[in-house]
Structure 1
Amino acid sequence: MTGKRLGPQDRREQIIVSAAKVFENKSYADVSMTELAKAAGVGRPLLNHYFGSKRDLYLDVVRRFVFIPELAVERLPRSASAEKRIGAVIDRWLDVAGRHRGLWMSTVMSDDLRRDPEMDQILHDADSVAAQRMMDALELHPGGEDAATVHAAIVAYGGLAKAASKQWLVTGLLEREQVHTLLVVSLLAIVRDVIPTLATDNGATTTSR
């Protein structure tokens, strides 16, 4: 059965969204292209036309899931304090992780995916973009050699965010609000105390009202 007539971009988007729901509840190995086509309401030939293979579609689903959109930062009120800005970004992270727990576990927290060079590159790029989004949210724009240092420090913080989220979603040892507090307070300390120590010049600036 085919769905309603959509333009190429809308159809592609529809397929990615429906595929994400399938991968949310099943492992990659247990999902077939026929099942993905049925979930999207399209024929198998059309699915192959847009994505070629199950792997291609899965990679697009992962890209959509792990990258923080620029719009998430643009919507932050510029008058807000650093703590509120961090809190808003962390809230979005936890919302996505909680709403898509299955997909989060099979992508962000999967060591197996890191053994796949293409998938590892996607996750590496996502970590880098997430760090840049947080720097933008904090209006943290270091100059010179400090730019790479500060970016690396925020990427390292991302590792803490993943580990803390695991303690909420997997072990249940932390509640969501506890994770939120841990991540906000930790990043504030990194921005206010650690980054100035790491910086080699006065280029690192942030809004910390």
Structure 2
Amino acid sequence: MTVRQQIGDDVTAAPRRRRLEPDERREEILVCAMHLFGERPYAAVSTTELAARAGVARGLINHYFGTKRELYLEVVRRMVTIPRFAIEQLPEGPLETRIRAAVDWFLDGVARNSKTWLAATGAIGQDPEVEKILADADELAADRVLEAARLSAAAPELRAMVRSYGGMVKSAAREWLVRQDLTRNQVHLVLSTTLLSLIRDAAPGLREDGKPLP
């Protein structure tokens, strides 16, 4: 019996391919790409390495995503887009409870993929396609925040307020992850109390004509 037979698969061997449903396989490739693009710049990651890390044939990456570039853009989109389920799973209860839970969800996600999130959100001015994804994500984030607060997404003043808050969210996360001048708990406090104040105190006075927002 060889040493490998005694201890099982060598830890340096390529991962065994597992039979997965197409959606599961696609998600597995995407998760591996999220890790790799967080570890190194786009140009330093090859499709061959992506396939090896995911334990799939290189052709499967092309099958599910087309090119490395398209896979990278999908990683960016995943990093910055707030999915609907994040709002649907918020607890029932007062506004404060829902806001705290929403900020928790965001910070948990950023913490799990901090390097990739930082790389994606720091691409302003560097890549037009990434900028478009970030702009679309900001608009969707405004919808999600207003939905979580049970406010109308139709009022342009409210959307502008929430988009401005989104810029603060990114800056506060960088204070925590990069500068480390704020802890996670402190960032949570800043973001949750600011959003609550915006909704309760600022939103009612946004209309210059004094009429209530819809």
Matched AA of 1:179? V
Separation in 2, partners of 1:192, 1:142 = 16
Partners of 1:142 and 1:48 in 2: how far apart?
38
CA contact (8 A) 2:80 2:134 kept: yes
* CA offsets 1:7-64 (integer angstroms, 9 cap, x no match): 3322212211111121122221210000001111111122222222111101111111
Kept in 2: contact 1:142–1:203 (CA 8 A): no
**2:127 — aligned with what?**
116
| 2:91 equivalent in structure 1 | 77
Match of 1:86 in 2: 99
Measured in 2, the distance between the counterparts of 1:110 and 1:27 equals: 11
Distance 2:54 2:98 in 1: 36
Report what 2:41 is aligned to: 27
Query: Aligned pair 1:48/2:56, yes or no?
Result: no
Normalising to structure 2: TM-score of the pair? Answer: 0.86
1:75 CA drift (Å) = 1.2
Give the residue type in structure 1 aligned to 2:36: V
Tell me the distance in 2 between the aligned counterparts of 1:8 and 1:177.
39
After the TM superposition, list the runs of 4 or more consecutive aligned residues in structure 1 that deviate by more than 4 angstroms.
Answer: none
- The structure 1 residue matched to 2:113, chosen from 95, 100, 104, is 100
- Bigger drift between 90-99 and 45-54 goes to 45-54
Task: Find the counterpart in structure 2 of residue 207 from structure 1.
Answer: none
Matched AA of 1:49: H
**TM-score (norm. length: structure 1):** 0.88
- Counterpart of 1:36 in structure 2 is 50
Seq. identity, %: 44
Segments of 5+ residues of structure 2 without an aligned counterpart are: 1-13
Q: For residue 137 of structure 1, what is the aligned residue in structure 2?
A: 148
How many residue pairs end up in the alignment? 198
Distance in 1 (alpha carbons) for counterparts of 2:50 and 2:170: 29
What is the Cα-based RMSD across aligned positions, in Å?
Answer: 1.7
**What is the CA distance between 1:142 and its match in structure 2?**
5.8
Q: Which has the larger radius of gyration?
A: 2
Higher relative contact order (CA 8 A, sep 6+): 1
Unaligned runs of 5+ in 1: 205-209
2:122 counterpart letter in structure 1: M
